[in-house]
Amino acid sequence: MHPLQAGIERLYALGPEAKNVSGARAVFVDFREALSRGEIRAAEKLNGKWQVNVWVKQGILLGFRIGELTESGCEDLSFVDKDTFPVREFCIEDRVRIVPGGSSVRSGAFVAASVVCMPPMYINTGAYVDEGTLVDSHALVGSCAQIGKNVHISAAAQIGGVLEPVNASPVIIEDDVLVGGNCGVYEGTQVRARAVLGAGTVLTRSTPLFDTVKGGIYRADGPEGCLIVPEGAVVVPGSRAITKGKAQDWGLSVYAPIIVKYRDEKTDRGVELEDLLR
């Protein structure tokens, strides 16, 4: 058990009364800084399987509960937010590139050395972004989302989080994944290593994924299950015909993500991250 866990769980169990407990803010600040350093995280892979650290998500919710609204910024660009989650500040020693132009990282987010942030992008509290990842313009990394090494989150891609319910798995993107432009990955979806999501692909835990290579259909398992994109899968937007009622008469179809192939040398060359940019 992490040294902070018992204190966070005790304060979270108090509900609104936690705000009146002496030392609650000090406990939370220690927790938030541990999150920012990557020492604790909302989910982690143990014995090959992703596990949710419920107490970490409780700690983030505690921060919102005990925080007070405060003003920040300047006259021309002002903000009002909980004082428990200020904007993260970086220095050269962090070795994180924050390119000028309106990007923001909230405190409580871990951003590893060699990450590149292109403007404007946003990384929310509780997110974990590992080494060598590129977060491109207009991209979002949601609260508690877990992003692996050497991931390319392309322009306008949306990586959801999942803070509540506290036992639900956040969105997880493993190492060497390419998330194409305008993609949306939401609701606890897990994208395994080296997968490629073609531009405009949308994945949620309620969306079945059709594998045209292996002939299977991937679905979330149970009410708390996740949609898992297999390792190395190349996924593109597709559609499937509706075979009932008026929709069939009118020749309508619905959106369906499709696995069209698995990564090969040609794919690797096409999605290779350019080291010169780093």
**Domain that residue 200 falls in:** 85-266
Q: Place 273 in a pLDDT band, splitting at 50, 70 and 90.
A: low
Place of tokens 């997880």: 172
Cα separation, 129 vs 57, whole angstroms:
17
Structural domain count, the chain: 2
Distance CA(179)–CA(10), nearest Å, equals 39
What is the Cα–Cα distance from 52 to 167, expressed in whole angstroms? 7
- pLDDT above 80 for 55: yes
* Cβ neighbourhood burial of 73 (10 Å; 0-12, 13-18, 19+): exposed
Q: What is the pLDDT of residues 187-238, one digit of tens each?
A: 889 999 999 999 999 999 999 999 999 999 999 986 668 999 999 999 999 9
Question: Which of 39, 68, 97 is the last residue before a domain boundary?
Answer: 68
Q: Are 157 and 191 in contact, with CB atoms under 8 Å apart? A: no
Give the integer Cα–Cα distance in Å for 232 and 93: 34
Do 63 and 98 belong to one domain?
no
Query: Of 38, 68, 98, which residue sits at a domain end?
Result: 68
Contact 209/190 with Cβ under 8 angstroms? no
The whole-model pTM stands at 0.94
105 and 51 in a common domain: no
Residue 85, pLDDT > 80, answer yes
Cβ within 8 Å of residue 110, ≥6 positions away: 35, 36, 37, 38, 41, 127, 128, 129
Q: What is the pLDDT of residues 128-140, one digit of tens each?
A: 999 999 999 999 9
Position with higher pLDDT, 24 vs 224: 24
Contact 167, 54 (CB under 8 A): yes
pLDDT at 127 over 70: yes
User: By percentage, how much of the chain surpasses pLDDT 70?
Assistant: 96
Within a domain: 277: no
